[in-house]
Every structure is written in structure tokens, then in C-alpha cells.
Amino acid sequence: MKAIICTKYGPPEVLRLVEIEKPAPKDNEVLIRVHAATVTPADVAFRKGDPFISRLFTGLLKPKFTPGDEIAGEIEAAGKNVRVFKKGDKVFGSGGTAFGAHAEYKCLPEEAALAIKPANVNYGEAVAVCYAGLTALPFLRDKASIKSRQKVLINGASGSIGTLAVQLSRYYGAEVTGVCSTANLELVRSLGADKVIDYTREDFTRSSQTYDIIFDVVARSSFSRCKNSLKPGGVYLTTFPSSGIMLQAIWTSKFSSKKAMFAATGLRPASEKVKDLLFLKELTEAGKIKPVIDRRYPPEQIAEAHRYVEKGHKKGNVIITFEHNDKT
């Protein structure tokens, strides 16, 4: 089978598409014929080995792994002890720190973060919901305890996590302000943002407007810069695990009414992720959320996909798609 591997840290060219042996499922595993997987800023970080903390999962000096976390595909075979899934099930989910989604086939244990995909979207859209949803949902719902009528600002509202964060905030009844570039203003409005701010023309931290939640999904701001834009009791969220945000999270949890927070959403138990996948499936099928796809690449163009993601200007999600000759 075809698989993308990374055997050294560096630019996109270190990624190689190779032929490796097709895996066989263990008694408690399912074999997934992969149709789509995401290419995310996290994939870029793991490929570069930067920040250094990422190497705890891939190797301190030299990596050797098949990248990719989020996955969508069809179950080709199931081990004899598998009860929840069966051959032919169309699924989406996350392999977590096991990686390996950037391959034609992937084995996952039955108890992994896996669920039947939403029926009204294709595999690429399903895997986009998985990636963005499993990040945005625990940040907004669990960390910030988002509530109806709150004012929420999404910094980076046109990216993969941002596009879904806007929609989830609207679902919870918040008043949403999206921050993005000029080219993406209409996209963010179409997703339900009540207001949009063009960051090339206006710095939201210099405005007198204040928010209950500021969700910085692109790590282009900081708690210090955003503090005056938070209401008393307000929460600043960031997806980037810097040492600064960790220290601020500890300090503000004890000594400030305005909180800085980070969540290691990828390290949550699979059982929690499954519950969220089922919730996201329900919202998707009800039309409450809609995944945004920017570009799709075949595995032969993985380096190009990484280069595009690394620029930081994508609209929604970037997807790797695997074609199978026997696919119906």
C-alpha cells in the first residue's frame, strides 16, 4: 500500500510516498480503507520537529513515522472481538498520537476515537469536521463554558478550526465576531458571524469593544495583548502550547478574574472524543455546522500540501485524498 513517511525533520521535501506492507487488524481492531485525511498546522509542526516538545511524540533527534491523525474511510475488515463496527461501515475519527492516517490503510482499535461518519457529507468533509470539531468544541464548551448571549471573538475565523468555531459559537447562541483577512470576510459572514474584522485594517485589541471569550486559533495574539479586550471574568483561549501561556494559565487561575487557558485536546481520552464525534455528527446531519474545504491533494503532492498549509492563509481545511481502484 502507499504511505507517506517522515524519516528526518525539515522542509516539506523530507516527506516521501513509499510502498509498505498493508496492515492486518488484531482481534480488537478494524482495518480502515482510508479515503481522506487532514493536513494541519500540527502535521507541519511534527514534520519540522518545531516546537521541540512535539518531538516527544515523534523522536528527539530523528523521526520515523507516517504522519496524519484525523481519518475518514470505510472498514474493510474487523477483528473477531470487534462488536461496535462491521465491514462496510463508513467511519471518521482520530488515531491520536499513533498517527498513520496518511496511508491507504490504517488499523485502529475498536475503542479508538472512531464513529460512523455523518451521512450527508463526503469523506473529505467528514474528516474536516473531525479535526476542527475535536479542537474547537472542547475549547469553547469545556474550557470557556460558552453560553447564550455571550460575546465571542474568533481570531483566525477563516481557518480550519476558526470556521467551525464560528459555527459552534452561533449554535450555542453567542454573538460572534470573526477576525480574518480582507479576502475571507464574506466567507466568515456566511458561516454566521455577526461582525467581521479585517485584521489588515483594524487591530481588535485597540478597540474599546470587550468580549466574554477570545479564541485565538492562529496564535497571532497573546493574553497580554488581549487582556484589556476581555470582560471581567472573560476567558482567553489559544491553541498554541507556549511556555508563556502555560505560566499565564496557572497565574490567572489563582490571581485574576480574566483567565488564560490552553487545552491539550489531542491527548483527551478516546471515550471523550467518541462522545464529541457523535455530537458533531448530529450537528452536521442537522445542518447546524458545515465543513469548509479549501484544497484537496493526492498523496503524491503531500509536499505541496504542507507548503500551502505552512503559509497560514488557507480557507478552512486542506485534505489528502486516497483513490482506491475498487472503490464504489
Q: Among residues of the chain, what percentage have pLDDT more than 70? A: 98
Mean pLDDT of 214-219: 92
15 confidence band (pLDDT: 50, 70, 90): very high
pTM, whole model, 2 decimals? 0.93
The pLDDT tens digits of the residues spanning 140-149 come to 999 999 999 9
How far CA 26 is from CA of 30, 65, 68, 107, in Å, comes to: 8, 20, 21, 8
Whole-number pLDDT of residue 327: 42
Average pLDDT over residues 229-245: 87
Q: pLDDT band for position 257 (50/70/90)?
A: confident
Give the pLDDT band (50/70/90) at residue 160: very high
The pLDDT value recorded for residue 85 is 98
Instruction: Flag whether pLDDT at 241 surpasses 80.
Output: no
What is the pLDDT, as a whole number, of residue 71?
Answer: 97
DSSP codes, 192-211:
T-SEEEETTT--GGGSS--E
For residue 289, pLDDT beyond 70: yes
Rounded mean pLDDT of the chain?
A: 94
Residue among 40, 47, 36, 42 nearest 5 (CA): 47
Note the pLDDT of residue 2.
Answer: 96
User: What's the average model confidence in pLDDT over 8-32?
Assistant: 97
* Closest alpha carbon to 295 in 103, 16, 40, 116: 40
Give the model confidence (pLDDT) of 100-131 as tens digits: 999 999 999 999 999 999 999 999 999 999 99
Predicted local confidence at residue 328, as pLDDT: 34
- pLDDT over threshold 80, residue 243: no
What pLDDT score does 115 carry?
A: 98
Whole-Å CA distances, 306 to 98, 131, 217: 20, 16, 18
Residue 324 burial by CB count (10 A; 0-12/13-18/19+): exposed, middle or buried?
middle
If pLDDT is split at 50, 70 and 90, which confidence band does 326 have? low
Task: Enumerate domains of the chain plus CATH numbers.
Answer: 2-129+268-321 (3.90.180.10), 132-265 (3.40.50.720)
Is it the case that residue 90 has pLDDT exceeding 80?
A: yes
Question: Can you give the pLDDT at residue 244?
Answer: 75
Q: Residue 271 — pLDDT band, cuts 50, 70, 90?
A: very high
Average pLDDT score over residue span 231-254: 83
Alpha helices in the chain (DSSP H): 41-48, 55-58, 123-137, 160-171, 185-190, 223-226, 243-255, 270-285, 302-311
pLDDT of residue 135: 95
